Structure 1
Amino acid sequence: MTRDEIIDFVRDLDGVLLLRPEPGDGSPDIAWGDTFIYYAPDGAVPTTTQPFATIVTKNYPGDESSRLDRPDTFRVNIAAGKDEFLARVGRAPRDPAAEGEDASATDTLMAHPVYGTLGWLAVVNPAERTEGVVRELLRRSYDLARNRYARRIDSPSR
């Protein structure tokens, strides 16, 4: 599964906004080449919510364990939520990771090495073994983001 296949999959979902920072657009240079996937039916980058998924192509400070500095390596990150996280990795997000988990393993669903405690899952270079799971998780994460958006819009405090 390539980055473009992931992007094409989410692009087909209603209300998705893809933010793809690049030189000259005012974004920090560390974000260039990465993709941030939001539910934003108005087409504006939300200021009060995080993306529901990201695709990162490089190590970030404090997030080097996936070894994204290898050639042709990327990681898709998905805000799965507590229940889905528990169902997929067999532990609550705030529980400690199992001894020996390898955040650089490819085509393997795992807790996000930094944001796992917040219910994020990740796959480095998804391929045959994880492609279906990645698509399913992206759809579920999209549904969660869409539902959060609807609750904010319908909130009496607005």
Structure 2
Amino acid sequence: MNLDQYLDRPGGRTLTANGDTFWIYDPAGDLPPERQMPWATLVTSDAYDSASHLDRPGVERLNLGLPKADYLKLFPAAPEAVDHTALDVVLPHPVYAPQYWICVVSPSEATLKELEPLAELAYRFAVRKYENFRRR
């Protein structure tokens, strides 16, 4: 899946490691590694968690880190039961939901279009965190 058309933003860098892709806001390209927090990721394997069963052929998971208020608009209360293997459904992230991340396993083009405003929120949140870091 080529997500560049949805996730490429000014000042952004795209990094890949172990088949996964990370979108980071770092306009000067000089953030120290410990500050290179992605605002979006595309995970392609079960290497770090197996909740979504990404070992299925052609299955991958898009993840977005949202500001708390925007996450809570989607999920005001933690869902009691979440099937993280469900395809093309916006869900709380299986591991990082407490940090206000959402995910979609194998999003369709229609779902990607619906996610565009959320991707913009995640990007703007990353910009704000970067600017706060630079002001210190």
Report the Cα distance in structure 2 between the residues aligned to 1:46 and 1:84, rounded to whole angstroms: 28
| Structure 1 position 115 matched with structure 2 position 102 | no
Alignment TM-score, normalising by the size of structure 1? 0.78
SS in 1 for 2:124: helix
> Amino acid of the residue matched to residue 105 of structure 2?
V
Indicate the residue corresponding to 2:16 in structure 1.
20
- Of the three residues 4, 9, 26, the one matched with 1:7 is 4
Indicate the residue corresponding to 2:37 in structure 1.
50
Alignment length, in residue pairs? 135
- Of the three residues 135, 140, 144, the one matched with 2:116 is 135
Indicate the residue corresponding to 1:66 in structure 2.
52
Larger radius of gyration: 1
How far off its partner does 1:129 sit?
Answer: 5.0
Indicate the residue corresponding to 1:80 in structure 2.
66
Alignment TM-score, normalising by the size of structure 2? 0.90
User: 5+ unaligned residues in a row in structure 1: which ranges?
Assistant: 22-31, 92-96
Give per-residue Cα distances to partners, 1:106-147, cap 9 Å, x unaligned: 110010001111110000011155223322111111001111
Q: CA RMSD in A?
A: 1.6
Report the Cα distance in structure 1 between the residues aligned to 2:31 and 2:119, rounded to whole angstroms: 19
| Bigger fraction of residues in strand | 2
Indicate the residue corresponding to 1:39 in structure 2.
25
Preserved CA contact (<8 Å) 2:64 2:103: yes
- Of the three residues 87, 90, 96, the one matched with 2:76 is 90
How far off its partner does 1:101 sit?
Answer: 1.3
SS in 2 for 1:130: helix
How far off its partner does 1:45 sit?
Answer: 5.4
Report the Cα distance in structure 1 between the residues aligned to 2:131 and 2:61, rounded to whole angstroms: 29
User: 5+ unaligned residues in a row in structure 2: which ranges?
Assistant: none
> Amino acid of the residue matched to residue 111 of structure 1?
P
How far off its partner does 1:44 sit?
Answer: 3.9
Aligned identity (percent) is: 33
